[in-house]
Amino acid sequence: MTLVSADNQGSYTVPGLGKRKRQIMNGGQVLDLATAMLETGTLTMNYTDGDGKSGDAANFGILKQNWFMLRTFTAEFKHQTDVDYKQGTILNKKLMKDIKARQESEKHYGTGKWFGWTQKWRDRIESSLYSRHCQLQKCSLLDP
């Protein structure tokens, strides 16, 4: 295993990042922001619709939520089928719907199952996520 020290990681500026963080926190929680930070560096939906997937495997929004989870346990999409997956594109445009859907899914599944990967992968992601969560609570969320 190779470790990289923080001073070797570099940095770059993302225009509008502070504003986007405030938008997320306006209706979300630190966990929503931390999750979005793991999914996309710009905190925007800047990937192919569905994340290049279709049906229940398709992902939507800055939180890259899986269609199966969305259609099964969120008010917005409940009772839709796998073929209705393109309905999830609304999360790419409506941030607060994206956040609300994530919170509803997590409430049903619990944080651990919400990640939906193998235990080893889930442990890695959760460790990274909670590390980011702690950093965000200690630091200003509005820093660019």
- Express each pLDDT in 128-140 by its tens digit: 666 666 666 665 5
Tens digits of per-residue pLDDT, 71-95?
998 999 999 999 999 999 999 999 9
Phi, psi of 8 (to 5 degrees): -95, 0
How deeply is 85 buried, as exposed, middle or buried, from its count of CB atoms within 10 A (0-12, 13-18, 19+)? Answer: buried
Among 22-36, 46-60, 97-111, 124-138, name the one with the lowest average pLDDT: 124-138
- Tell me the one-letter amino acid at 136: L
Return the DSSP state at 41. T
| Tens digits of residue pLDDT in 54-65 | 999 999 999 888
Buried b (16+ CB within 10 A) or exposed e, 19-36: ebbebbbeebebbbbbbb
Q: Which residue has the tokens 């986007």?
A: 20
**The pLDDT of residue 5:** 47
